[in-house]
Amino acid sequence: MDDRYDQLAARVAALEALLAPAPGELDVGLLSRLRRVGGGGEIEGGVQFAGSVSIAGRRAVWQAEREAAELVERAGDLSDVLSALAHPARLAIVVALLAGPLDAAELEERVALGSTGRLYHHLKELLRAGVVTQPRRSRYELPARQVVPLLAMLSAALDLGAPPPESTP
């Protein structure tokens, strides 16, 4: 048993060494740290995000890494998704769907937009952007593969909108 523990401890130490920031590099966390890549373009590095979430009995596990240059190059292609999520009512719908698929009546009750017409308008925008799916008539869901990316976007929004840290005199 001691040998297995020692082997495991050595493997964890090796992984931690690989994930440590390079000398002089700012460590801003494992999941959001920029890493060095070759290529010599104007922008180098990448962004990683990952998560493992259990919500209402559903488990979502996701990990992604994107090159910074690709994100900048494709930023214009992302406006449909970003604008779909930018509206408070649509964001409330998506957050309600985190718990699992819901019928339109259940969504209307949870989100309370005042009319079914408004609900369907916002659902149409979310469907068009590919944020939610409609597995059958009047039933909507946020696919499990999209749960962690959505939560990562919410996390990034917290960082983007956070006030700067107070400086101490």
Examine residue 132 and state whether it is found in any structural domain, yes or no: yes
Give 2-61 pLDDT, tens digit per residue: 787 788 777 777 766 665 555 544 444 433 333 333 444 577 889 888 888 888 788 888
Examine residue 110 and state whether it is found in any structural domain, yes or no: yes
Query: Using 50, 70 and 90 to split pLDDT, how confident is the model at 168?
Result: low
Q: Please say if the pLDDT value at position 1 is more than 60.
A: yes
Examine residue 67 and state whether it is found in any structural domain, yes or no: no
Give 131-151 pLDDT, tens digit per residue: 999 999 999 999 988 898 999
What residue type is 52 in one-letter code?
S
Examine residue 46 and state whether it is found in any structural domain, yes or no: no
DSSP 57-125: TEEEEEEEEEEHHHHHHTGGGGHHHHHHHHSHHHHHHHHHHTT--EEHHHHHHHH--SSHHHHHHHHHH
Contact 134, 140 (CB under 8 A): yes
Examine residue 33 and state whether it is found in any structural domain, yes or no: no
Give 45-98 pLDDT, tens digit per residue: 898 888 888 887 888 888 889 998 888 888 888 888 999 999 999 999 999 999
Residues, the chain: 169
Examine residue 71 and state whether it is found in any structural domain, yes or no: no
- Who's near 133: CB < 8 A, 6+ residues apart? 127, 140, 141, 142, 143
- Who's near 97: CB < 8 A, 6+ residues apart? 107, 132, 140, 141, 142
Distance in Å from the first CA to the final CA of the chain = 53
CATH code, 115: 1.10.10.10
Examine residue 124 and state whether it is found in any structural domain, yes or no: yes
Give 90-135 pLDDT, tens digit per residue: 999 999 999 899 999 999 999 988 888 999 999 999 999 999 999 9
Domain that holds residue 124: 77-161
Type and span of the H or E element at 45: none
pTM score, whole prediction: 0.68
Residue 32's closest CA among 20, 21, 43, 47? 47
**pLDDT computed for residue 167 by the predictor:** 55
Examine residue 44 and state whether it is found in any structural domain, yes or no: no
